[in-house]
Structure 1
Amino acid sequence: MSNAVTPTRNGGQILIQQLRQHGARRVFLVPGESYLPCIDALNEHRDAIEPIVCRQESGAGYMAEAYGKLTNEPGICFVTRGPGATNASIAVHTAYQDSTPMILFIGQVGNDFIEREAFQEIDYRRMFGPMAKWVAQIDDTARIPEFIARAYSVATSGRPGPVVLALPEDTLWGEACVADVEPRQRLHSYPSQQQLRELQQHLERAEKPFLLLGGSGWTEQAQMDIAAFAERYALPVGVAWRRLECFNQHHENFVGHVGSGMHQALREQLKSCDLIITLGTRLGEPTTEGYSWIESPVPSQTLVHIYPDPEELGHVYRPDLAINADVVGFSASLGELAPEITPAWKQATATARRAYLDTLIPLEAPGRLSLDKVTRTVDRLLNGKGCITVGAGNYALYAHRYIQFGGLGSSLAPTVGAMGYGLPAAISSKLEHPQRPAICFAGDGCFQMNLQELGVALQYRLGIVILVFNNGMWGTIRAHQENDFPGREIALTFTNPKFDSLIKAYGGHGEIVEDDASFEAAFNRALAFTEQEHLPALIELRYDADGIAPGERLSAIRATALESQKYSNDTGEL
């Protein structure tokens, strides 16, 4: 702790100064009277901290979470008590399952009113306990620097994640003469020499290895180190579900996106592997397709699991070699590992690469507008630049399949499957990287969950492009409904506004595209508008709703389900 003489300050001033000490450059907030001293203290840091005034707390939280993904530093979000906190909770859950560093500050009733169910009072320890790494309430103004320093440490160490701090009004209005706490140096965890030797031995014995990357905390150097390792060993490389930014997909060793929606050749490759090396990923349900291609608790493949949290190692899968290390520390330790001869599987890796490239060829789609071709056009025009964001829904499968993501910052996608994420994430990306394109893929339902954040794009003049996939229904649920209750569609359709008119109310540019021939020119116009005017553009994609996912049709799902029901009835099976 610094010994510098400090003046008497109120709690808000102490807290905002401490955020500056720890490198916060931007805070996302929906203002509330419960933390007014913090808002006022931002006046003293206009040169260092940019406040982003959001329209609803879920949008603010998503923006902070996306900031954490983009920077590996905690995204900072301020919300007011009660309703503000409950609105922001979806972003905390996202940060928890996505292993994203984030700190949510919540205004709280004063300690003189606590435990009386005062206006908007909630026990945040009980509310956020299961979905945050640490939840606390700062009851002493003089201890604010201590709590902030600990929050940064907890949010970024081991498996990164969210921290929630409640701020009673008397703590913020109270005064104290207390020194600031300097930030600690980021620590990385490394494998031992013995573990590296064991990894090398596993590689020497393998015939069909696979390297699976995921998780958070990646840096450009770590990605270069892991790419060099993959090249030396000619390893096929995949990325975990919605961790599309963890490896440059233009690299010759990249063979696909692992998890829900992956192509069949990759699925069969994973099942037949004799060695799976997983770095940074928990091997969660979507990545493993319901724990199917790799079985729990004892996989048929030899499993090397590298993860920064020792409690995760052995939690779901029993690894043959468990290494407690983060992606930066582990990747930096691989420089001395190299095969003595050309790996026998080199040709198999090349074959897997060709199978992946084949998946980039657009599949057939019904109607005049092919979402497959639309997404390939986006990929070609962006040419590896910018960031693609998605929320949740079958529409996201088009980006997952057809975009070749270029590494860090190229994708923002919630592994928790949270709807309404894409627009706030695109805004956060554009704030962080103003010169890069930010493209939001959004279903018509997903977009409307947070479309009010267009006001942020207007206010801060952010030139993002939004592609709204308009099929007038909750498409993912409709696909499940047709599979489980074929021909009994109900309660899944909705009437949409004119999205092209809506964006114009926010100062933006809007178009409707209904056929393949019109899209490329419309997308170029949208990009040009965002670059020139620094305001949002939106393209509404109207397409045949029967095309529910790449290569899949609702009518086929229904027909298959009806045939299955007929077979069950004919045979008497339950």
Structure 2
Amino acid sequence: MTGAEVITEQLRAQSIGTVFSLAGASHTYLLDALDRDGFAIISNRHESGAVGAADGYARALADQRPMRPGIAMIVSPQGLANAVPGLAVAQAIGSPVVVLAAIPPGGFLEPEDIIARAQLDIVRPVCKWVAEVPSAAHLGGSLRSAIEKSTSGRPGPVVLFIPQDFFREDVGAGEAKPVEIEVPTPDQAALGKAASLLDTAERPVAITGLGAFRARAGNALRELAKRGVPVLGNGTGRGLVMENHTQGWSWPYAQREVHKADCILVVGEVLTQRLGFGLPPRFAKDAKFIQIDAWGDAFNRNRPTDAALQGDAGATIEALLAKSSRRWDAGWFASALAAKDGYLDTLGRETDGASHPLALARVIEEARPPDALLVGDGADMQNWLYGAYRVNTAGGFMDHFPLGAMGSGTALAIGAAAALRELAGSDSAPRPVILATGDGSIGFYPAELHAAALAGLNLKVIIGNDAAWGTEAHGQEQAIGRTINTELGELPYASLGEAFGLASQTCADVTNLENSLSWLFAQDGPALLDVKIDPAAGAELKTGSLASSILFSDLEEGKSALAAGKDFK
């Protein structure tokens, strides 16, 4: 077997059927082997696009067994710096990505070439593990190690540097086996303590993240919700419990009222800035925290964990429920959110002119195929989407948080669409992927739309176009009464879609919104809709506290209070 064939055999053993790659001579023999072995090869246009698509692929298939890391192929040193943003996004959320970086043979290195000499150091801060394959004979073992590092504990991105001549070398017979990750069983004493905390709580709340989806914890969480515990999904943890606003909500929508809870069950999520670091005022000072995660380092991060349960999320929740017959009433949480529900219902009801972004979000929610996977990107645009989207399918949502790197949603959506096509197989139509993004965020990696067109992916792109960096413009207006460097102009994004091979239209008036979205969702292949949205609408996010679902102000409030030695309610 050649080195390339060893790689394809190991990827196939891991049930991986799609790779993401920039075209390049350095991977010629590997691309040839992948193509002959029937892999789908998605042709990306930027290294971060390839890494981001691999990330989206891994997130969309996170609940599959064996775990399937996304595979991205780049060339180093030329493309290495371009890959860093995509790696940082995957590292922030804990998504398994394996980057196969082809490097020149040793004799091609220039002694003073800083990037070539510091390749491992450049990506190490944004990776879980980096290594260089020492010889062609070690290629199979090195790839297995890379997959194991990427998928074990808290998953994350790894980079494996491979001299390009190894791909065509004869390395003898190979033996590929899937990498299976064992999850520890929770300590029984900790389980008992957690059950006691939950049993004595009056207003418990559960928060679910990507790790809960990966662990297939939906059945256990739905039982928890039936017992009266509100379940708040975040990112790809959304949809494990239906977001019906009686048992399930999204974390962004509902987070303002979590400070009223006295016990927080955190499942497969990390207490980062996105969750207010677990600190007051986002959470009550005396609230008890139970955390369930396969990754031990998730515990006691920013806030002490009262009961830490390292293990499978679904089985652990089932064990907790088996120790208690307690039931709660989730009505208190629904009542707490009544003001927000009513307030948002009054917004965006204009009958002509450019669409209010909340109206756009409502019509997307009403018109979209019910099994669609939603991908969010942007700032103001994303904020309004949180106000209307109701995710009712496990694995039905992903976005660019917790890092919040603008534009990364485009690549995530392409990877997710490739994953769903692979999952559907040749006998059925894949679930659609809907990317809703802003005119600012689409500008980061617009050429990745061409990857979707070339591959014929079932991707529908909706661009909320207010001709500006909306959240920045309204922030400047509030701070200094004018805007600087935030206007983008009236650009024809439908023309951009057409240029890259997508069926494209423009919707300039809210009266055409329903028909335009019906057209979009009826297209067989990738398609794009440029929606003109009201540029004034985003001001509400700066002044109306009930409108915003992306919070920062309370973190400043909490920091100031802590510095002053104040107590919290």
Question: Could you state the TM-score of these two structures normalised by the residue count of structure 1?
Answer: 0.85
Partner of 1:210: 205
Partner of 2:517: 523
> 2:149 is matched by which residue type in structure 1?
V
Question: Residues 50-109 of structure 1, C-alpha deviation per residue, up to 9 Å, x if partnerless?
Answer: 111112222111111000101122000001112322212211111100111110111112
Q: Does 1:444 align with 2:439?
A: yes
- 1:354/1:227 Cα in 2 relative to 1: closer, same or farther (>3 Å)? farther
Distance 1:204 1:332 in 2: 14
- 1:553/1:469 Cα in 2 relative to 1: closer, same or farther (>3 Å)? farther
Partner of 2:534: 544
Distance 2:535 2:278 in 1: 27
Partner of 2:485: 491
Q: Does 1:16 align with 2:8?
A: yes
Partner of 1:123: 118
Distance 1:100 1:161 in 2: 5
Q: Does 1:386 align with 2:372?
A: yes
> 1:11 is matched by which residue type in structure 2?
G
Question: Residues 349-400 of structure 1, C-alpha deviation per residue, up to 9 Å, x if partnerless?
Answer: 4535766755763524776422212211111112632011122321111222
Distance 1:21 1:117 in 2: 40
> 1:537 is matched by which residue type in structure 2?
A
SS across alignment from 1:538? strand
Kindly indicate whether the alpha-carbon contact (under 8 Å) linking 1:124 and 1:135 is maintained by their aligned counterparts in 2: no
Question: Residues 198-247 of structure 1, C-alpha deviation per residue, up to 9 Å, x if partnerless?
Answer: 22211222122111111336158421111112312x11111236743454
Distance 1:325 1:359 in 2: 40
Kindly indicate whether the alpha-carbon contact (under 8 Å) linking 2:237 and 2:394 is maintained by their aligned counterparts in 1: no
Kindly indicate whether the alpha-carbon contact (under 8 Å) linking 2:71 and 2:97 is maintained by their aligned counterparts in 1: yes
Question: Residues 114-171 of structure 1, C-alpha deviation per residue, up to 9 Å, x if partnerless?
Answer: 4724596252321111111111110111111111111111111111111111112343
How far 1:494 sits from its partner (Å)?
2.1
Which residues of 2 match residues 355-374 of structure 1 at below 5 A?
Answer: 358=342, 361=345, 363-364=347-348, 368-374=354-360
Distance 2:466 2:498 in 1: 21
SS across alignment from 1:372? helix
- 1:399/1:243 Cα in 2 relative to 1: closer, same or farther (>3 Å)? farther
Distance 1:332 1:54 in 2: 42
Q: Give the one of 13, 17, 36 matched to 1:25.
A: 17
Partner of 2:234: 240
Partner of 2:267: 279
Partner of 1:85: 80
> 2:45 is matched by which residue type in structure 1?
R
Distance 2:318 2:182 in 1: 13
How far 1:426 sits from its partner (Å)?
2.6
> 1:37 is matched by which residue type in structure 2?
Y
Partner of 1:431: 418
242-251 vs 401-410, greater mean Cα deviation:
242-251
- 1:350/1:118 Cα in 2 relative to 1: closer, same or farther (>3 Å)? closer
Kindly indicate whether the alpha-carbon contact (under 8 Å) linking 2:215 and 2:314 is maintained by their aligned counterparts in 1: no
Distance 1:121 1:112 in 2: 12
Which residues of 2 match residues 43-82 of structure 1 at below 5 A?
Answer: 43-46=35-38, 49-72=39-62, 73-82=68-77
Which residues of 2 match residues 337-348 of structure 1 at below 5 A?
Answer: 337-340=323-326, 342-343=327-328, 345-348=329-332
Kindly indicate whether the alpha-carbon contact (under 8 Å) linking 1:229 and 1:335 is maintained by their aligned counterparts in 2: yes
Kindly indicate whether the alpha-carbon contact (under 8 Å) linking 2:236 and 2:396 is maintained by their aligned counterparts in 1: no
Q: Does 1:258 align with 2:224?
A: no
How far 1:287 sits from its partner (Å)?
2.0
326-335 vs 50-59, greater mean Cα deviation:
326-335
Distance 1:164 1:32 in 2: 18
Kindly indicate whether the alpha-carbon contact (under 8 Å) linking 1:223 and 1:247 is maintained by their aligned counterparts in 2: yes
Kindly indicate whether the alpha-carbon contact (under 8 Å) linking 1:103 and 1:162 is maintained by their aligned counterparts in 2: yes
SS across alignment from 2:538? strand
Structure 1, unpaired ranges of 5+? 1-8, 558-574
- 1:495/1:346 Cα in 2 relative to 1: closer, same or farther (>3 Å)? closer
Distance 1:244 1:221 in 2: 12
Kindly indicate whether the alpha-carbon contact (under 8 Å) linking 1:31 and 1:80 is maintained by their aligned counterparts in 2: no
Q: Give the one of 261, 270, 292 matched to 1:306.
A: 292
Task: Report % sequence identity.
Answer: 23
Kindly indicate whether the alpha-carbon contact (under 8 Å) linking 1:216 and 1:280 is maintained by their aligned counterparts in 2: yes
Question: Alpha carbon RMSD of aligned pairs, Å?
Answer: 2.9
Distance 1:171 1:118 in 2: 22
Q: Give the one of 156, 159, 165 matched to 2:160.
A: 165
SS across alignment from 1:311? helix
Q: Does 1:408 align with 2:403?
A: no
- 1:418/1:235 Cα in 2 relative to 1: closer, same or farther (>3 Å)? same
How far 1:482 sits from its partner (Å)?
3.2
- 1:550/1:148 Cα in 2 relative to 1: closer, same or farther (>3 Å)? farther
Question: Could you state the TM-score of these two structures normalised by the residue count of structure 2?
Answer: 0.86
- 1:170/1:420 Cα in 2 relative to 1: closer, same or farther (>3 Å)? same
How far 1:488 sits from its partner (Å)?
3.9
Distance 1:374 1:228 in 2: 33
Partner of 1:417: 404
Q: Give the one of 459, 467, 470 matched to 2:465.
A: 470
SS across alignment from 2:107? coil
Structure 2, unpaired ranges of 5+? 63-67, 422-429, 549-569
> 2:33 is matched by which residue type in structure 1?
A
- 1:355/1:69 Cα in 2 relative to 1: closer, same or farther (>3 Å)? farther
SS across alignment from 1:467? strand
> 2:57 is matched by which residue type in structure 1?
Y
- 1:432/1:355 Cα in 2 relative to 1: closer, same or farther (>3 Å)? farther
Distance 2:149 2:75 in 1: 23
Partner of 1:460: 455
Distance 1:148 1:224 in 2: 34
Distance 2:481 2:338 in 1: 39
- 1:463/1:201 Cα in 2 relative to 1: closer, same or farther (>3 Å)? closer
391-400 vs 425-434, greater mean Cα deviation:
425-434
- 1:549/1:231 Cα in 2 relative to 1: closer, same or farther (>3 Å)? farther
Kindly indicate whether the alpha-carbon contact (under 8 Å) linking 1:69 and 1:100 is maintained by their aligned counterparts in 2: yes
SS across alignment from 2:276? coil
Partner of 1:514: 508
